[in-house]
Structure 1
């Protein structure tokens, strides 16, 4: 059970709930602050104070005052009109992460919602009711308005959800679980949708996958070094300490650990003085990717516990303040960096694949084929990897440098953070497939060299991966091998 309090959510908690389906509850202390902020909203309504989003219109309509009897309808209209998402829906893990993040943000007590709204969000998680939320349509400022509106629809008994493996009307799922549709009150519609939870949910899950992939990429690279009889001296700690980047030092140390006691590595001058960059510079390149991931994690750790709606209610200070915490720029830039950092993992991996299959660059059978000429072996696997790497170069174009004005120029600079996060997720999927190809080729190469000469750690890894993809004895449909390997990498 993960307990939300608005302050201590971790990325590991998100994985537990979004991916593994763990249940959620909330702390009583945090709910007390929610009640205080709700009273501030109700007092504002009672005293006819003009407060944005409570008794005014939205965006360019912020100067339009709303009559008291229309305040609840204002919130319902907001959700219906802003539910303009298009395209394929987010995955259920992303949807669960979005719900969890929104509940956590509201529990900070700056949003002015009733406790029942937070309880109902948690009910969606614990009853496995997952709103159908289209992926496209957010500008990433004024929050993820369109995606979060589709999330909010489910609370109202509107829209569609995935429930018990089927798409059905939200009203039916709520009825089956004996949950009443929510009736929004002042400020609550705006509090549900004014936030960065779509981009942050996608970004958090993308980060977790990236971290796992990068760890695997190092072990796969170590096998490739053995398959190519690489020069181990390039990983000597003196080299990496001389430069001083901690992540580079640590990658080199892990490579040395993986290759300890290997009889397939060489010393400089034995077979060649030095290797190509894609081998020799593994610590420098992957170390830089680790640096990027640390930056991304730092921003996600803040954002998953942030108050990102508008206005924010500070009950103790007696203030209701309009600002711009919904602007997704910190996450937008982080996601663009994540794309770049992970694209390079695939980029250098594909170059190692080329060195494994190209007979002009090694002394292995051409394309690792069991019968070069009659059988093509890994030839077109390298094509597939090259295609994915090229696609990543397009996806890695930064989304955060783009902006487009909206709401009649009231919202004249936006982050495009959700586009960045979605593209980061696609990049990471591509990276996983590229390193899957490298793994398959490295397995074949070390098998040809002699697995009995491998280092103990890489040999154990070899044996694990050989249970996923068998040795290439004859040409077959290698697409299936790549997908089996990438599925394993996803789960491990």
Structure 2
């Protein structure tokens, strides 16, 4: 069981919730704070004070006062009118994290909702009811208004949800699990949708998959080193300590450990004096991407535990402050940074693919073909990888440098963080396919060099890869090999097979 406090949720706990099906609960102390802030809201409504979002309209309508008898209607209208998301829905894991992160933010006790609202969010999580949330339509400031409104619709018995593999109405999903729809009261609709939970939820999923891609990139690159008879001197510890980047030093350590006892790698001067940058600079390039992951993880863990709605209630209601914590700029920057890091894994991987298939750059059969000329071998695999790399360059353009005014220019600067987060997911998917292609080519190069000469650890990577892609004895429809190998890399995110090998390598090195 993972206990939410509003302050202490971590990426490691998220892994437990997503992949180990841990249930989620709210801490009693945090729920007491929720109840306290709720009493402050009820006092504001009873005394008819003018407070944004509680007794007024929203956005440009902040100067419109709302009568006490219309407070519930105001909240319902808010959710329905703001549910303007478009496009394909977010994956269920993203929807699940949106519920968890929204509940965790409310548990800080600064939002003024009733405890039952938090309870119902966690009910959806524990019953595995995942609202259908369209991916497009958020500007990433005033929060993820459209996506979160679709999330809230299910609490009201409206909208749509995924339940037990089936898409159904939100009302039906609640009925199947014995849950009652909520009726929102003062401030609750605003508190539920004023936040960055869509971009943050997708961002956390991005991080988890990028982390696994990083390990995969290091291992696959080590196998490529053997296929190209790479020079190991460039990975010696002294050179990386001399520069001082921890992540670069760690990548070099991993590569050395993978290649230990290889009969295929070479030393300076044996075949050549220096390798091309795509081999020699693996620690520097991969290490820089690992640096980005550290930055992104830090920002995501802050945002997962942040109060991001508006207004916020302090000192038992003595201070109700309108601010801008809903602005997604920190996560927008983080996602744009992660886009670049993931794109670079693909960029350098594609160059290593080129070095394996180009007969002018190696002594392997042209395009790794068993019958060059009659058969094209991996020729068009490299084309496909190059196309994905080029597409990544377009997607890597920072979403956060854009802005557009909304709500009659009241909301005149926005983050576009959700767009950045979505584009990051696409770059990661593209990069996974490029790495899968490198894996296929590296295995084929190993076949030509002699699999028995591989290092013990890279041989395990070879054997794992061969479970999805058989040796290429003749031309075939390689699309299926590429898709199966891509799926293998993606599935490694959910278990310890590849990562487990990596941890053991680090411990033994």
Instruction: Map 1:330-409; keep pairs closer than 5 Å.
Output: 330-409=330-409
1:184, distance to aligned residue in structure 2 (A): 0.3
1:306, distance to aligned residue in structure 2 (A): 0.5
Give yes or no for contact 1:6–1:107 (8 Å, CA) kept in 2. Answer: yes
Aligned to 1:108, the other structure's residue is in SS state coil
Matched, 1:301 2:283: no
**1:440 aligns to what?**
440
**1:474 aligns to what?**
474
Give yes or no for contact 1:231–1:274 (8 Å, CA) kept in 2. Answer: yes
Measure the CA separation in 2 of the matches of 1:162 and 1:472: 41
**2:69 aligns to what?**
69
Aligned to 1:383, the other structure's residue is in SS state helix
Deviates more, 1:12-21 or 1:241-250: 12-21
1:12, distance to aligned residue in structure 2 (A): 2.2
Runs of at least 4 residues of structure 1 off by over 4 A? none
Q: What's the TM-score once normalised by structure 2's chain length?
A: 0.95
1:318, distance to aligned residue in structure 2 (A): 2.3
Aligned to 2:400, the other structure's residue is in SS state coil
Give yes or no for contact 2:140–2:328 (8 Å, CA) kept in 1. Answer: yes
Q: How big is each residue's C-alpha offset from its partner over 1:93-121, in whole Å with a ceiling of 9 and x where there is no partner?
A: 11001111101111111110001111111
Q: How big is each residue's C-alpha offset from its partner over 1:11-53, in whole Å with a ceiling of 9 and x where there is no partner?
A: 1222332455432111111100000000010011111111110
Give yes or no for contact 2:40–2:317 (8 Å, CA) kept in 1. Answer: no
Give yes or no for contact 1:335–1:417 (8 Å, CA) kept in 2. Answer: yes
Show structure 1 runs of 5+ residues with no match.
none
Q: What's the TM-score once normalised by structure 1's chain length?
A: 0.99
**2:242 aligns to what?**
242
Give yes or no for contact 2:143–2:309 (8 Å, CA) kept in 1. Answer: yes
**2:412 aligns to what?**
412
Give yes or no for contact 2:328–2:415 (8 Å, CA) kept in 1. Answer: yes
1:374, distance to aligned residue in structure 2 (A): 1.3
Measure the CA separation in 2 of the matches of 1:131 and 1:339: 27
1:316, distance to aligned residue in structure 2 (A): 4.2
**1:463 aligns to what?**
463
Give yes or no for contact 2:41–2:317 (8 Å, CA) kept in 1. Answer: no
Measure the CA separation in 2 of the matches of 1:189 and 1:419: 24
Measure the CA separation in 2 of the matches of 1:379 and 1:41: 66
How much is the aligned-residue C-alpha RMSD, in angstroms?
1.0
1:317, distance to aligned residue in structure 2 (A): 7.0
Measure the CA separation in 2 of the matches of 1:217 and 1:413: 38
Measure the CA separation in 2 of the matches of 1:341 and 1:198: 21
Instruction: Map 1:210-229; keep pairs closer than 5 Å.
Output: 210-229=210-229
Matched, 1:174 2:197: no
Measure the CA separation in 2 of the matches of 1:17 and 1:256: 34
Give yes or no for contact 1:15–1:205 (8 Å, CA) kept in 2. Answer: no
Measure the CA separation in 1 of the matches of 2:483 and 2:276: 29
Matched positions, count: 492
Aligned to 2:401, the other structure's residue is in SS state coil
Measure the CA separation in 1 of the matches of 2:330 and 2:201: 14
Aligned to 1:470, the other structure's residue is in SS state coil
